[in-house]
Amino acid sequence: MEEISSNDMPETNEPSAPEPTPDVVAPPPVVEPQTRAVWAWFVLGAIFIFLISSELIPDPKPEKPASAAAPELVVKLKSALVFKDAAIGASKTTQKDPLGDLIKEAEEDADKNSEASQVSLAAGLEAKTPLSTKALDHLKRSSEPLDQTVYKIYSSDKLEEKWVRGVDSQFPENFLGRLIRAHALAKAGVTGARSAVVSATDQALYVLLGLGFVFGAFLGLIALFGGIIALGVARIKPVGYPCGPLTKLGGDRLALRMSVFFLLFLVIPSVVAILLHKRLVPGASLFIGEVLLLISLVIVQRTPFFGVADPVKKIIGDTRRWPMHILYGLTGFCANIPVVVILALGGQALFRNAPEPTHPLTDQLESGASPLSWFFLYLLAAVMAPILEEISFRGLLLPALGRFMKPVYSILLTGFLFGAIHPQGPVLWAALASVGAMSAVLAYFSGSLIPSMTMHFIHNSAIMFAQFVLFT
């Protein structure tokens, strides 16, 4: 038989295997130990119990008056004056006076709430009706310098312009403060002050806010029912949790990381606020604290727990399809608008005797904030909050819970815990839980936190815009 030499062998395009290099040793794969760390869940549960309980226990020394109706009265006052011409036209046909109804509503709290007294007097002067004696008496008895100033303004027929200019710094930088200042200047003989309080820009912003809500709710209904139909016919299949599959110890590990995040959240912003809040404009110290919190979170995520690191890039998940993920986030925001509205109204009806929803940032905005404070508070609410809360709740907590329960349960439980730790109280628990649950749905079906971060950013930006229109 004829031998076949190596030269007669057919040529192939396959590359030859490289020669092994004895000097290079491949690192061994990271193998998680099979032991569990169940204690991490007890730590996380204790922290959640503490946070939720602290929101339910009323503050023994509230900074705000007992009645919480005044911010709503300010919104109604501004709305009535922004649409004053339309309101007057409606009153001729319906025999309903918006300012008159507002004065009666403010009168109910005028003897226990300074801001309600101020609203009553400002609305009374606008309506050219006799001013409330209850409101005047309350301000007269008050020891607050602003209340004494407002009492003098509305109890006097004429004022000196020099005195008005001297007390100008007492008025808060919000709509009510500008209106009272304009009334004082008008009584001092300064013309044009009142006409500058409500501008064409205010009217345009109100129209934009209303049209945005209607259009967003319309798109939301389409997106919501479209998503339900698509899920029903199994056209949408979930990619999975952004961090990928987990072992049981991996779930314990993320629960422990969530606990560490909460501890950092409770310590770092508070310490920074204590050290810097008197040196910076309101909101700036909180923003700096949140930035330091994010830096600390990035460092902690790169620190191995049980021998395994979970860098933020891994927790965020897929970032290659970011344009589509941003579109998912916008769709999720629209789809959640009708859900949030229905649950918010239901919460108000169910907990009508509970304190009104409040938030430290909202309180700051209602009491008046400078443009620079608005800038920092916007960054805090619309940028830092979505990043931190999505990394923690949807990046750590959601997959940790999902390792031990079905996705639908982990999504609902994550949403409830997300809503319950917020300071707005039980009135908005369900509405906030829907935001958290929708964010969890977006993260689970996309395998990325970019859609949930996008939705969270748009949601908080919309709230900040609404507060800017209503309170400034």
Nearby residues of 243 by Cβ (< 8 Å), 6 or more positions away? 254, 310, 314, 315, 317, 395, 399
Residues 6+ apart with CB under 8 A from 414: 393, 394, 397, 398, 401, 436, 437, 440
Same domain for 194 and 209, yes or no, is no
Is residue 454 included in any domain, yes or no? yes
Q: Same domain for 191 and 230?
A: no
- Distinct helix (H) and strand (E) counts, the chain: 21, 0
50: its two tokens: 């503490």
Q: Report if residue 455 sits inside a domain.
A: yes
Specify the residue for token string 């503050």.
59
The position carrying tokens 């309903």 is 96
- With respect to residue 105, please indicate whether it lies within any of the assigned structural domains: yes
For residue 7, being part of any structural domain is answered with: no
Domain boundaries, position 404: 201-471
For residues 252 and 192, membership in a common domain is answered with: no
Q: Is residue 457 part of a domain?
A: yes
pTM given for the model: 0.82
Same domain, 93 and 220: no
Domain boundary among 166, 198, 230: 198
Select from 151, 167, 198 the last residue of a domain: 198
Q: Where are the alpha helices (DSSP H) in 167-233?
A: 175-187, 200-232
Residue 149 sits in the same domain as residue 239: no
Does residue 18 fall inside a structural domain?
no
Question: In this predicted structure, what is the pLDDT of residue 380?
Answer: 92
Looking at the fold, whether 191 and 210 belong to one and the same domain comes out as no
Evaluate whether 394 touches 414 at the Cβ level (below 8 Å).
Answer: yes
Q: Rounded CA gap, 37 and 305, in Å?
A: 11
Q: Which of 179, 198, 217 is the last residue of a domain?
A: 198
Residue 48 lies in a domain: no
Q: Are 439 and 340 in contact (CB under 8 A)?
A: no
* SS3 at position 308: strand
Specify whether 170 is located in the same domain as 261.
no
* Residues 217, 192 share a domain: no
The pLDDT, as a whole number, for residue 2 is 42
CA–centroid distance for 426 within its chain: 16
Assess if residue 13 is contained within a domain. no
Q: Are residues 212 and 268 in the same domain?
A: yes
Report residue 387 as tokens: 């990043």
From CA 435, how far away is CA 124, in angstroms rounded?
Answer: 40
Where do we find the tokens 């395994």?
A: 308
Q: Does residue 164 sit in the same domain as residue 304?
A: no
Give helix 248-276 / helix 284-302 axis angle, nearest 10°.
150
What local confidence, expressed as pLDDT, does residue 31 receive?
55
Partner residues linked to 317 by β-bridges: 448
Domains contained in the chain, number: 2
The model's pLDDT over 253-275, given as tens digits with 9 standing for 90+, comes to 999 999 999 999 999 998 998 89
Whether 157 and 213 map to the same domain: the answer is no
In this prediction, residue 106 carries a pLDDT of: 86
In a shared domain, residues 177 and 324 = no
Per-residue pLDDT of the chain (472 residues; tens, 9 = 90+): 344 444 444 444 444 444 544 444 455 554 555 688 999 999 999 999 999 988 777 655 444 443 345 678 888 888 888 876 444 444 444 445 678 888 888 888 887 788 889 999 999 998 888 898 999 999 999 989 999 999 999 999 899 989 988 988 888 878 888 899 999 999 998 888 888 888 888 888 898 999 999 999 899 999 888 888 877 776 778 999 999 999 999 999 999 999 999 999 999 998 998 898 778 887 888 899 999 999 999 999 999 999 999 999 999 999 999 999 999 999 999 999 999 999 999 988 888 776 666 666 666 666 666 778 889 989 999 999 999 999 999 999 999 999 999 999 999 999 999 999 988 888 889 999 999 999 999 999 999 999 999 999 999 999 999 988 887 7
